[in-house]
Amino acid sequence: MRNQLNSFFRMQLLSVALLFSLTLLFSPASAQVDSREKDFNFIEGLRLLNLGNIDAAEKVFAGLLEKNPLMDASHYYLSSIYIKKGDLKKAEKSTAEAVKLDPDNYWYKIQLARIYSATNQLDKATEVYEDIRRSNPARSDLYIDMIDLYTRRQDYPKALAILDDIERVSGKNEATGLTRYNILIGQQKQPEAIEFLKEFAKEHSSPRIATVLGDYFASIQKDTLAMTYYSTALSMDPKYIPATFGIAEGYRVRGQYDLYFEYMFPFMSNTEVNPRLKADYMKEILANPKFVQTFYPQVDTMMQNLYGAHPQDSLVAYGFAVFMVQTSRADIGLKVLEKNIGNYPNEREPMHQLLSLIYYLERWENLIAQSDTALLKFPGDLDFIQLKGIGQLQLNQTDSAINTFLSILPLAKGDSATTVRTLSILGDTYYMAGNKKEAYKYYQKTIRLEPNHAAALNNYAYYLSEEGKQLKKAKQMSKKTIELEPENATYLDTYAWILHKLGQNVEAKAILKQAMVYGGNENADILDHYAEVLFALGEKDLAFMYWGQADKLDPSLGIAQKAEKLKKK
């Protein structure tokens, strides 16, 4: 298609040059000037378009059409620009205008048909294609488009009729065989499709056809037959990648891992294979921890080969960096992502990937520094501001964190989820800073906007209970959290603690037993609260046992000293 278009561009330039010469001979001076300017601008538009400067080319062709609305070629090239920009609605309008001005132009009509097809106007696309076919019966590329169109419409008889025409004119080949196979699959005639392809392969075998058959037999667990077809494909083309992958997978299924890796290593190193396909495959491999643990050196080689083949692919780089972190090579992983930012300095995602990994590693000072760097390029980016604030919180820089999260609120107008989340974090941060009044104010703002915000309800209720204030209000808020999340040990603990503060220790004990079931027995604070309730109920031996467990989990809480004082009393 590109060669045909380039040929068309050359023809346009020659015709323009000829037109330019004739107008000099037979036109008045003023007309010659106008025509010369028009021709020059048209050539300039083509030059800019070929150089990829589509914005400048668009201005040139739009300017030409303002003065010369009947200039069909300008309509056509303007439509091509709109296609490049993804604006198919404008492209359709411009192409339709070009066809209207020159109804016999093949290129105009084929572009209009393809726009109709891309926008699912299948009836209109079919009508245009049939019109082109009547005047261009030998265009095989046109027939392929029509087969695809009829297949999408599930009009399989017409698709097959056009395929028959192609084979009568050009004979059978790999493309026609696979097309017929795909049509049979579309008709849900898989057994017939496979039998057809097996017979077709006897006279028109190719690596691709053999691999398609191999993939089919692999999918129905007939691995011996699948391996035979993959081997056939590789005998015809030892470097045929789909067959290489297929035979590698066959060896993996059979448990012949030495042969699996023998084929998989070069597959991962091959620069011609789609990097996203390989990255997705490795994601599945890494999701099997037993396999990774058993064959760690080989899996590591696969990852090294993948990144070595596609070091500039962001998805590959991120996957490799995460693997480095997971295998205790965090510094290498971070360097990979820093290099990736250098590859794409003006794109946001590489920077976000780096910050996400730093967050995962809990390197808070680095997170703050890199967030500041990211915000220089992407000022006002809410994710980067939040990550900076999280880093400040983790380092107990509460005043800085408050300023950071306050800066989010005006930027998040209209984004209720971000606003609510930020208000809740501000409540927590003000409490950490010792400003209870502001903390409660922000919890109230959070709950006003989102009455079921469990985290804000829980924290607000717990802090009130610690002060012994508004216990009935605290109980009401806390009860709501366990209705929202009945298996959350933290929320159950808060509710039980408020009951304890209200003197309802029997009820508190029952709730704390539930908390134990949902992981509370691994939390020192919850064990401490359970011991307090048991002690209040007179179950002192059991209370001291739970205090002992709590102290082992977190000696920094001073639980052992508290228990010792109670024993002396």
Contact 46, 26 (CB under 8 A): no
Using alpha carbons, list the distances in angstroms from residue 57 to 48, 51, 85, 95, 140: 5, 9, 12, 16, 32
Going along 269-311, which residue ranges are E strands?
A: none
Distance CA 42, CA 191 (A): 56
How far is it, in rounded angstroms, from Cα 1 to Cα 505? 81
* Model pLDDT, residue 25: 33
| CA distance readout (Å), 49 to 12, 15, 43 | 14, 18, 10
CB 244 within 8 A of CB 262: no
Question: Which of 86, 89, 43 is closest to 64 using CA atoms?
Answer: 43
Candidates 319, 321, 326; CA nearest to 336 is 321
**Residue 31 exposed, middle or buried by CB count within 10 Å (0-12, 13-18, 19+):** exposed
In a domain, 546, yes or no: no
Cβ-in-10-Å burial (0-12, 13-18, 19+) of 1 comes to exposed
In a domain, 26, yes or no: yes
SS3 220: coil
Nearest to 149 by CA among 128, 177, 175, 176: 128
Distance (Å, whole) CA 474 – CA 457: 8
DSSP string, 410-474: HHTTT-HHHHHHHHHHHHHHHHHTT-HHHHHHHHHHHHHH-TT-HHHHHHHHHHHHHHT-SHHHH
Q: What pLDDT score was predicted for residue 34?
A: 60
The 3-state secondary structure of 253-268, one letter per residue: HHCCHHHHHHHHHHHH
pLDDT for residue 146 is more than 90: no
Which residues span the domain enclosing 107?
1-136
Q: What is the pLDDT of residue 171?
A: 86
Question: Mean of the pLDDT values across residues 151-162?
Answer: 86
Q: What angle do CA 127, 133, 139 make, to 5 degrees?
A: 140
Residue 499: per-residue pLDDT:
95
In angstroms, the Cα distances linking 229 to 178, 184, 207 are: 16, 21, 9
The helix (run of H) or strand (run of E) holding residue 73 is helix 72-85
pLDDT single digits (tens) 184-239: 888 899 999 999 999 999 989 899 999 999 999 999 999 899 999 999 999 999 88
Rounded Cα distance between 400 and 407, Å, is: 11
How many residues are present in the chain? 569
Query: What is the pLDDT at residue 401?
Result: 96
Interval 418-444 mean pLDDT: 95
Q: Which residue has the tokens 């082992």?
A: 552
Task: Using the predicted structure, report yes or no on whether residue 4 has a pLDDT greater than 60.
Answer: no
Task: Classify residue 96: in a domain, yes or no.
Answer: yes
Residue 274, domain member (yes or no) = no
| Buried residues in 203-228 as b, exposed as e (16+ CB within 10 A) | eebbbbbbbbbbbbbbeeeebeebbb
pTM for the model stands at 0.66
Q: Tell me which residue of 382, 338, 387, 385 sits closest to 359, measured CA to CA.
A: 387
Average pLDDT over residues 156-179: 85
The tens digit of pLDDT for each residue in 441-463 reads 999 999 999 999 999 999 999 99
pLDDT for the residue 5: 34
Residue 214 located in a structural domain: no
Tokens of 478: 């806390």
CB-based contact 487:509 (threshold 8 Å): no
Q: How far apart are CA 356 and CA 352, in angstroms?
A: 6
Positive or negative torsion for Cα 180, 186, 192, 195: positive
pLDDT score of 28: 43
- Name the average pLDDT for the chain: 88
pLDDT at 20 over 50: no
Q: Is residue 63 part of a domain?
A: yes
CATH number, domain of 67, equals 1.25.40.10
> For the chain, how far is it from start to end, CA to CA, in angstroms?
93
Q: Give 295's pLDDT tier (boundaries 50, 70, 90).
A: very high
Q: In this predicted model, what pLDDT tens digit does every residue of 367-416 receive, in sequence order?
A: 999 999 999 999 999 999 999 999 999 999 999 999 999 999 999 988 99
Residue 36 within a domain: yes
Q: Which residue has the tokens 């323009």?
A: 16
What are the tokens at 189? Answer: 């005639």
Q: How far apart are CA 180 and CA 316, in angstroms?
A: 36
Give the whole-angstrom CA distance, residue 549 versus residue 534: 14
Indicate the number of domains in the chain. 1
- Least confident interval from 47-61, 249-263, 346-360, 454-468: 47-61
- Does any domain span residue 112? yes
Q: What's the pLDDT at 418? A: 94
